[in-house]
Amino acid sequence: MLSLLAFFMAGLSASAQDGERLYVYKFCTTCHGQKGISIAPNYPNLAKQNELYMVNQVKDIIAKKRSSKLTPLMTEHPVVISISDEEIAAIAVHMNSIK
Ligand code: HEC
């Protein structure tokens, strides 16, 4: 049980590091800013956002369940829409951990 917990926690910290890298590689920084403070007043900040909320929003935007005049910025971006559930989760952990 203890080793399973240790394994899980190791997985979590690895995923925060992956998230930092993925946040750049998947072009999120170009709109949401390097530290999660967005580049435009009508783009949302992501720094400190709740992980589960963020995961749900990204999935809904990509699936076009959430749409606005601005969501095409994400849904028409080939790299953004190719993101996996694991990558979204890792980015969300990283954004939530920003100081
Ligand atoms: C080309 C610009 C652009 C890129 C690239 C982009 N986004 Fe967005 N994102 C936006 C805009 C604009 C919105 C707001 C949409 C709206 O108003 O409904 C948004 C919304 C969001 C939201 C919802 C925030 C909230 O408070 O509800 C999340 C989470 C998000 N983006 C994460 C990401 C992630 C993760 C990536 C990288 C994989 C990414 N975005 C790439 C422009 C972008």
Test site for ligand 1: of 18, 26, 31, 83, most ligand atoms within 8 A of the Cβ: 31
For residue 26 and ligand 1, the question of a CB distance below 6 A is answered with yes
For residue 70 and ligand 1, the question of a CB distance below 6 A is answered with yes
For residue 32 and ligand 1, the question of a CB distance below 6 A is answered with yes
Residue 92 has pLDDT above 60, yes or no: yes
Three-state SS sequence of the chain? CHHHHHHHHHHHHHHHHHHHHHHHHCCCHHHHCCCCCCCCCCCCCCCCCCHHHHHHHHHHHHCCCCCCCCCHHHHCCHHHHCCCHHHHHHHHHHHHHCC
pTM of this structure: 0.89
Q: Domain residues of the chain, as ranges?
A: 16-97
For residue 47 and ligand 1, the question of a CB distance below 6 A is answered with no
Confidence of residue 17 (pLDDT cuts 50, 70, 90): confident
Test site for ligand 1: of 66, 74, 83, most ligand atoms within 8 A of the Cβ: 74
Average pLDDT, the chain: 90
Which top CATH class is 16-97?
A: mainly alpha
